[in-house]
Amino acid sequence: MANTPDIIYTKVDEAPELASASLLPIIRRFAAAAGVSVETRDISLAGRILAAFPEYLSADQRVSDDLAALGELVKTPEANVIKLPNISASVPQLVAAIKELQAKGFTIPDYPETPTTEAEKDARARYDAIKGSAVNPVLREGNSDRRAASAVKNYAQANPHSMGEWTAASQTRVAAMAGGDFFSNERSATLAKAATAKIVLETADGETVLKDAVSYPAGTVVDATYMSAEALDAFFMQEIERTRSEGTLFSLHLKATMMKVSDPIIFGHAVRTFLAPVFEQFGGDMAALGVNPNFGLGDLLARVKDRADIRSAIDSCLAERPPLYMVDSDKGITNLHVPSDVIVDASMPALIRAGGKGWGPDGKEHDCVCVIPDNSYAPVYDETIRFFKANGKLNPATAGTVQNIGLMAQKAEEYGSHPTTFEIPEDGTVRMILDDGTVLHSHEVKKGDIWRSASARKAPVEDWVNLAIERQKATGFRAIFWLDAARAHDAELIAYVKPILEAGGVADRFEIMAPREATRASLETITKGENTIAITGNVLRDYLTDLFPILELATSAKMLSIVKLMNGGGMFETGAGGSAPKHVQQLVAENHLRWDSLGEFCALGESLKFLADTRDNSRARILGEAVEAATQGILDHNHSPSRKVGQPDNRDSHYWFARYWAEALAAQTEDAALAAEFAPLAKALADNEAAIVAELAAAQGAPADIGGYYHADAEKLAAVMRPSATLNGIIG
């Protein structure tokens, strides 16, 4: 592409975007020495919303559709993208962002919960395209190589984080459906030739087209499955009663952000079942007030605030139910308040790290029943809990590491965020019918069931297997494909995997195990201090690259995440943003940002080295290697952000990063002119340490005004995140 920047650094949301206001000026100052241009592209939730409604905005308010442009760029060899974690919006988050933008003068339409007019239907379609993992499928034109950087792993072993105690007496357990879930109903087939499919619902009244003309190239693995609403409700009621008898906390773990269609519906079933007596008595009244259980208990309570009789019934019902796992026990925010508050890939590792404990309404820790309805991945967490009950907690000082090679290119696999997931409106049969009339998949369904289809194309699957072969060869680690031969989808993937391994003469270096068995094997391996590579599909990639890093490192935000784009470019992802909302709240209240930019540092180093190879820029390589030295310096000298106000925070870590980076460049001997350029900068940063640290410390304590949560004011944000005049004067 013409005029492609050397590096694109994404503009996102919440804590990562706050940190960018401090870090990006430093990156640009250093990159300029190698002639490297660093530009931003806006993939934030607010940016995506504004880009979707240009005709509603004045000329000066309109923004470019940066996500679409990046979607084209990542298909080219020129792509070099540093991707920070963005909001995968649930409906409550989307609605909140819309209201904030409207308050700022952007005349975008409301989110129509029940669209009736053509304009409302159009607005709803545009907003639905923004929800959930709208960003990731567009940008991920390659598969994932995710692991702990050596500096990070070394530091974690030398400075092990605290772990909760596990005992065999723990009552914490995972609860999953005995049948009727996505796992048990899954069907899968590999297409022998290119085809177009339509998805139809056949009922007693005729045929409804749910989705028309979905195109698949030859070799695509196409799945279809559904979750029974009746079985789901029965499961929830059974676990509510069982949890109450066991005296533990009831906790629901879903991913209502990324799986934007299926999981909010499942969440709504949980809310409705937990408050079943209230819905039986006041269902009509609550519907008239706009109550939608999919939006959570918090939204429900807000809508019935003036109905003392409904509030009383809710209180009575909750008193009879088991206590709920709390998001914030001090504020009374429960697991069921907001669908995006408890995200399974972050919540379950945190609970496991804490010894199986969660916070209850009484402000104390208790054992939990972890409700994960679908059996596709629940066994991973179940086996982890069983392992630690039997063997005790993991020792981070001696534990090996689990790296991950993840299949995700070209929208591969099972996320419920794709546009082929439906809540069934009436009893009937869902069929996937190919253009030649072949019925590929068929399911008998009932009203309220959740039906979905996903696919994985041949080229990404083959690329994934070959990437795994490369990684295993480079490391020599134990390598396991997490595939279940008894699962329909996995069986189709195994049919791809085995011939490629055999053709490469490396079949003896790899194992294939179902997720439960692979979980135990991996835990046994790292407990012995040895290392393994988990080679997984898309969802497990997401889950495992939180689970193992949180156990090994205490966080998944410090992972090195390299996406080798299939057409030769590179994307470098910077870690997880699951805790980002709490970080923003703390900054606004106390002007302290505890977000750790270590993931950005790791991604920056890899991006610069990739640039050196693709653009023949030797200085970019020197910069990248110096980034690694600076990252090691941050860790070795304990300059990562602290959690409490008054202690060093994200801005302090950026000062030390700049200083160590400059010192490494001044000390290197490969490029004398570069060393000479950075020697004065390194000296200025060192000589002014006391002044800079004092200015950064003085900024903390009072509330901070950044001019908005979803659409912060750039000048206010810069003032908050760059409070040291001395540092600003040195960096420029």
Q: What is the pLDDT of residue 420?
A: 93
Assess whether pLDDT exceeds 80 at residue 382.
Answer: yes
pLDDT in tens, 21-73: 999 999 999 999 999 999 999 999 999 999 999 999 999 999 999 999 999 99
Q: What is the mean pLDDT of the chain?
A: 95
Q: What's the pLDDT band for 2 if we cut at 50, 70, 90?
A: low
Both structure tokens of 67: 């996500």
Question: In which band, very low, low, confident or very high, does the pLDDT at 574 lie, cut at 50, 70 and 90?
Answer: confident
For residue 643, with 0-12 CB atoms within 10 Å meaning exposed, 13-18 middle and 19 or more buried, which class applies?
exposed
Share of the chain above pLDDT 70, in %: 98
pLDDT value at position 131?
Answer: 83
pLDDT tier at 1, thresholds 50, 70, 90: very low
The domain limits of the chain are 7-141+567-731
Q: Where are the alpha helices (DSSP H) in 558-649?
A: 580-590, 598-615, 618-636
For the record, the structure tokens of 636 come out as 């070795």
Per-residue DSSP letters for 68-93?
HHHHHHTTSTT-EEEE-----B-HHH
pLDDT at 578 over 60: no
Q: Residue range 520-529: average pLDDT?
A: 98
Distance (Å, whole) CA 532 – CA 525: 7
Q: What mean pLDDT do residues 383-411 have?
A: 96
- Give the list of residues 6+ apart from residue 673 with CB closer than 8 angstroms, or none: none
- Integer CA distances (angstroms), 41 to 7, 9, 135, 715, 717, in order: 10, 7, 12, 18, 18
pLDDT band at 375 (very low <50, low <70, confident <90, very high): very high
Comparing 88-97, 264-273, 472-481, which segment has the lowest mean pLDDT? 88-97
Q: Is the pLDDT of residue 685 over 60?
A: yes
Select from 586, 579, 598, 580 the least CA-distant residue to 700: 586
Residues β-bridged to residue 224: 187, 453
Express each pLDDT in 256-294 by its tens digit.
877 888 999 999 999 999 999 999 999 999 999 999 999
- 544: its two tokens: 């495992």
**Closest CA relative to residue 576, chosen from 561, 592, 591, 594:** 561
- DSSP, residue by residue, 663-689: HHHHH-SS-HHHHHHHHHHHHHHHHTH
Amino acid at 168: A
- pLDDT-derived band at 414 (thresholds 50, 70, 90) equals low
Supply the pLDDT for residue 334.
96
**DSSP-assigned states of every residue in 243-294:** HHHHT-EEEE-B-TTTSTTHHHHHHHHHHHHHTHHHHHHHHHHHHHTT--GG
Neighbours of 670 (CB within 10 A): 11
Residues 489-513: pLDDT tens digits? Answer: 999 999 999 999 999 999 999 999 9
Between CA 483 and CA 498 the distance in angstroms is 12
User: What's the whole-number mean pLDDT along residues 697-720?
Assistant: 97
Report helix, strand or coil for 457: coil
Mean pLDDT value across residues 672-683: 98
Q: Is the pLDDT of residue 339 over 50?
A: yes
pLDDT on residue 634: 94
Can you give the pTM of this predicted structure?
0.86
**Digit-coded pLDDT (tens) for 197-216:** 999 999 999 999 999 999 99
The 10 Å Cβ neighbour count of residue 436 is 8
pLDDT at site 577: 58
Q: What is the DSSP letter of 695?
A: H
Cα–Cα dist 37/20, whole Å: 16
Q: Which amino acid appears at position 676 of this protein? A: A
H/E stretch holding 347 reads helix 344-353
Strands 7-11 and 38-42: parallel
Q: Please tell me the distance from the alpha carbon of residue 710 to that of residue 96, in angstroms, as a whole number.
A: 8
The structure tokens listed for 185 are 């109903």
- Report the distance separating Cα 148 and Cα 691, nearest Å: 34
* 135 pLDDT more than 90: no
b vs e for 99-126, b when ≥16 Cβ sit within 10 Å of the residue's Cβ? ebbeeeebebbebeeeeeeeebeebbeb
Assess whether pLDDT exceeds 70 at residue 417.
no
Structural contact between residues 44 and 584, judged by C-beta atoms closer than 8 angstroms:
no
C-alpha span between 469 and 462 (Å, rounded): 11
Confidence of residue 91 (pLDDT cuts 50, 70, 90): confident
- The 3-class SS string of 516-580 reads HHHHHHHHHHHHCCCCEEEEECHHHHHHHHHHHHHHHHCCCCCEEEEEEECCCCEEEECCCCCCH
Q: What is the pLDDT of residue 4?
A: 85
At 101, give phi and psi (nearest 5°): -65, -40
Q: For residue 501, how many C-alpha atoms fall within 13 Å in the half-sphere facing its CB? A: 21
**Residues forming beta bridges with residue 405, ordered by sequence position:** 145, 535
DSSP 8-state assignment for residue 108: P
DSSP secondary structure of 205-230: TEEEEEEEEEEE-TT-EEEEEEE-HH
The pLDDT score that the predictor gives to residue 133 is 72
CB 336 within 8 A of CB 371: no
